[in-house]
Amino acid sequence: MNNEIVALEDAKISVMDHGLLYGDGIFEGIRFYNKKAYLLEPHLKRLTASAKALALDLPKSICDLTSTLQNVIDAYKEHQGYIRLIVIRGKGPLGINPALCKKPELIIIASPLNMSDEKAQQNGIRTIISATRRIPADCLDPRIKSLNYLNAILARIEANNAGVEEALMLNQQGFITEGTVDNIFIIMDGELCTTPSIDGSLAGITRDLILKLATESGIKTNIKSLAAYDIYAADECFLTGTGAELIPVSEVDGREYDASPGPVFKQLKELYQMSLMQ
């Protein structure tokens, strides 16, 4: 926390911090492999953009953030894991006015994170389309990776109650946005499709990588609005994210895919794993 490495149980923030009181803060989830942060540059670029959008000053320069993050990775007991880099508004009096918070706080957490087990990778996960709609992009831009996940949590509660592993969320126009914490891809007629940020999806770092890997391997890609019909009628479906990595989907609202994981997913997962070694 800030400039000191402490055990998780000893980490503390003020109860008056606006990150705790109002969700006023931003974060990035970053994987590291062999003691090296993966895709760090685009993650820090997105963190900087989120900070600018919220008029939130980063407590360190990008150079110093990079160095501090590496110190945390070096101190972590494992050679691979997950970093949660958080910047919160800081302490202030009750009330939402950010101008009354004088010093933003930096928190970097190193932890294991496994969002899918071997069974999910072999057989895919079951999903539903949630009744909870994604907050419209003209109300809260989804490109801001903020601490406020209540919208997604409500959808995840629906998934829990339905006995499935994930929920897909629609926007106010009825188009698919993403999962609760992951971007969505489908394969239809040999084309890899995913949803645009303007529809309410996060501009995911792993999403961008998968689009790049697909293009380089000759797979046609398309970023376009997707309706529930497109998800139901697709040949394959899978989810991506820094935490999720790549997760195949076996069914949506009880509609099962013929192959899960499908051939395109398997190809892209192999390319993704190869990219980790570079």
Contacts of 168 (CB under 8 A, 6+ apart): 127, 128, 129, 130, 176, 177, 178, 179, 184, 231, 252
Catalytic option among 77, 91, 119, 145? 145
Q: Give the H or E element holding residue 35.
A: none
CA 108 – CA 231 distance, rounded (Å): 36
Amino acid at 226: L
> For strand 236-241 and strand 245-252, is the pairing parallel, antiparallel, or unpaired?
antiparallel
Answer yes or no: 145 catalytic: yes
Distance CA 269, CA 219 (A): 13
How far are the Cα atoms of 36, 233, 239, 242, 273 from residue 115, in angstroms, in the given order? Answer: 20, 26, 11, 10, 16
220 forms beta bridges with 191
Q: Which residues are catalytic?
A: 145
